[in-house]
Amino acid sequence: MNTPNDDHLRTEGDVNFSAVRQEWQAGHLNEKTRSILDADARAFLHQSLSTPCLNALEGCEGIYLIDSAGRRIMDFHGNSAHQVGYGHPRVVQAVKDQLDQLPFCPRRYTNEPSIQLADKLAEMAPGDLSKVLFAPAGTAAIGIALKLARYATRRHKTISMWGSFHGASLDAISVGGEALFRDGLGPLLPGSLHVPWPHEEQDAAEIERLMDQEGDIGAVIAEPMRCTTVDAPSAAYWRRVRTLCDAHGALLIFDEIPLGLGRTGRFFCCEHFGVTPDVLVIGKGLGGGVMPLAATIARADLDIAPDRALGHYTHEKSPLAAAAALATIDVIEQENLVARAHALGQHAASRLRHLQQQVPLISDVRVLGLAIGVELSRGGGKANAEAERAMYECLTRGLSFKVSDGNVLTLMPPLVISKAELDAALDIVGEVLRAL
């Protein structure tokens, strides 16, 4: 296999052509697993981050993955889809019950679970967000938001942030800012403008400059906190961006696909900043880690395209996905998972900042609820090699997470995790980083 020069692709940390990954596999996979991975490699188109895969699973429950060798692995990655853990009995039962009643709904029809879910999201959404469209994936929901912004403003230009991720389709990577997903593909959507990832209020000057210069920006689309690196701009920054959008007639679109549903210690991440977008997109964990589902939630006055198709997806109003989502939200509310994420996040922050005092390799600890980023640096630069080694050493000890931006250990545990389980995971991180 030809191994590409991957330095600029390391933003996701665990690319599957990594020599360190191959070394880990050589020491930890049995013949059964190798056979499964060989079959996977033959069956699927190869792409970075997935096929050929790292390992094979035979089960998952709660916070654990169970691989084909029977090892139980705490999953602090989960593609950010496991807020209520894996196989939550209430979510699974809701899907089973719905299978017996109405397993599918063609697009020309509606069904009660989908309406109930839309009403529930409108009730929970911040500010005056009250109209909903569903899609089978977050990328598709971002596409709905982009089309809605064009219809509403009659403008096609957008401003987004370098280093951000909004999905893998051509429209989503046009507004996204990760090289791994956009390099080498030729022309993307015209008018997709980018600014550096912001931190303080004064960084909004970059957006103001583009709005003044272009004169016809239709939307600013951003994660309220960059999920991959747990990097949040100040509340003053988002207030300034909100003011700029209002002044220039642009929509503000928040992508909370990985961050919503309680991950950050609020049900929606934007609630931390006191700023309500015009359009809010959620997904990933909405289907309870069982069914794929995303939602675009907008202001009622943006319901302005009744004669156009914003989404028009075959599984737009899936009763199975809606049943899973309703059960998921019920679990989050009944088990107080939002408050739990806040409290456990404070505990994790305290432990990791204490570890930072002992381990010079740790240059920063960023925590918002159970979104946790541990940044590693050495000699004034990114400790990319150490971050990758740490990830695989932790995996050997039973803890899975991802590395972002080359040097940030990104820890996203299920919100149902116990304090004892969280401490066990943080013990592993501490042992490995001390050794490095």
Burial class (CB in 10 A: 0-12, 13-18, 19+), 360: exposed
The residue among 172, 340, 197 whose CA lies nearest residue 263 is: 340
CA-CA-CA-CA torsion for 150, 151, 153, 154, nearest 10 degrees?
A: 80
Within 8 A by CB and 6+ apart from 170, the residues are 185, 188, 189
Averaged pLDDT for residues 74-80? 97
Query: Can you name the residues that pair with 86 across neighbouring β-strands?
Result: 62
Least confident of 14-23, 281-290, 399-408, 425-434: 14-23
The domains of the chain, with CATH numbers, are 7-84+337-435 (3.90.1150.10), 89-334 (3.40.640.10)
Is the predicted pLDDT of residue 12 greater than 90, yes or no?
no
Is the predicted pLDDT of residue 2 greater than 70, yes or no?
no
| Chain CA centroid to CA 391, Å | 19
Q: What is the pLDDT of residue 4?
A: 41
Task: Report how far apart, in Å, the C-alpha atoms of 325 and of each of 172, 287, 371 are.
Answer: 24, 5, 21
pLDDT digits (tens, 9 = 90+) for 98-146: 999 999 999 899 999 999 999 999 999 999 999 999 999 999 999 999 9
Cα separation of 80 and 272, whole Å? Answer: 19
Q: What is the pLDDT of residue 13?
A: 62
Cβ atoms of 402 and 388 closer than 8 Å? no
Q: What is the pLDDT of residue 51?
A: 85
Is the predicted pLDDT of residue 401 greater than 50, yes or no?
yes
What stretches of 357-407 adopt beta strand conformation (E)? 362-368, 371-378, 381-382, 399-400, 402-404
DSSP-based three-state secondary structure for 268: coil
Residue 221 main-chain phi, psi, to 5 deg: -120, 130
Is the predicted pLDDT of residue 3 greater than 70, yes or no?
no
Averaged pLDDT for residues 155-179? 95
Cα separation of 211 and 217, whole Å? Answer: 6
- What is the identity of the amino acid at 154? R
Cα separation of 320 and 244, whole Å? Answer: 40
- DSSP annotation of 53 reads P
DSSP 171-219: HHHHH---HHHHTTS----TTEEEEPPP-SGGGGHHHHHHHHHHS-EEE
Averaged pLDDT for residues 174-200? 94
Residue 327 main-chain phi, psi, to 5 deg: -65, -40
Terminal alpha carbon distance of the chain: 30
Least confident of 44-53, 185-194, 239-248, 360-369: 44-53
Count other Cβ atoms within 10 Å, centred on residue 350.
12
Task: Report how far apart, in Å, the C-alpha atoms of 288 and of each of 207, 264, 301 are.
Answer: 36, 17, 30
Looking up tokens 């593909």, which residue turns up?
185
The token pair at 8 is 């600029």
pLDDT digits (tens, 9 = 90+) for 292-307: 999 999 999 999 999 9
Cα separation of 160 and 150, whole Å? Answer: 15
Looking up tokens 């990760």, which residue turns up?
178
Q: What is the pLDDT of residue 5?
A: 45
The proportion of the chain whose per-residue pLDDT surpasses 70, expressed as a percent, equals: 97
Cβ atoms of 158 and 193 closer than 8 Å? yes
Q: What angle do CA 176, 181, 187 make, to 5 degrees?
A: 75
Is the predicted pLDDT of residue 188 greater than 50, yes or no?
yes
DSSP 77-99: -GGG--TT-BT-HHHHHHHHHHH
pLDDT digits (tens, 9 = 90+) for 23-72: 999 999 999 999 999 999 999 999 888 888 999 999 999 999 999 999 99
Averaged pLDDT for residues 219-223? 98
Count other Cβ atoms within 10 Å, centred on residue 217.
26
pLDDT digits (tens, 9 = 90+) for 169-181: 999 999 999 988 9
Cβ atoms of 53 and 16 closer than 8 Å? yes
Looking up tokens 């943006």, which residue turns up?
302
